Amino acid sequence: MRIVQSPYQARIVALSAGAPNLWRCVIEQEDSREVVVLHETARKEDARCMALLELAGWNLPVPPNGFWAANNLPFRP
């Protein structure tokens, strides 16, 4: 499964054929094999949700200076 939200893409893949209950959410920049985020989950649906949450968080508007630190929120590029 692939989820594309330019300039990033997420791939949801089984960790291995011998381990069907382990799934990976791999997020990369388009046209790059560099992994930006990697999550491993027990269910495919959980990996898909992690991808959607990560990609949605990266499309937030840029807050005023100091907003992230003042509210202890994680930085998202």
Alpha-carbon gap, residue 24 to 11, rounded angstroms: 8
pLDDT of residue 71: 45
SS3 content of the chain, % helix, strand, coil (to 5): 25, 40, 35
CA distances (Å), origin 37, targets 9, 18, 70, 76: 10, 24, 24, 11
The pLDDT tens digits of the residues spanning 8-60 come to 999 999 988 777 789 999 999 888 888 999 999 999 999 999 999 999 877 65
Q: Which tokens sit at 20?
A: 């069907």
Amino acid, res. 47: A
pLDDT at 7 over 80: yes
Residue 59: predicted pLDDT:
61
Q: For position 21, what pLDDT does the model report?
A: 85
Residue 61 has pLDDT above 90, yes or no: no
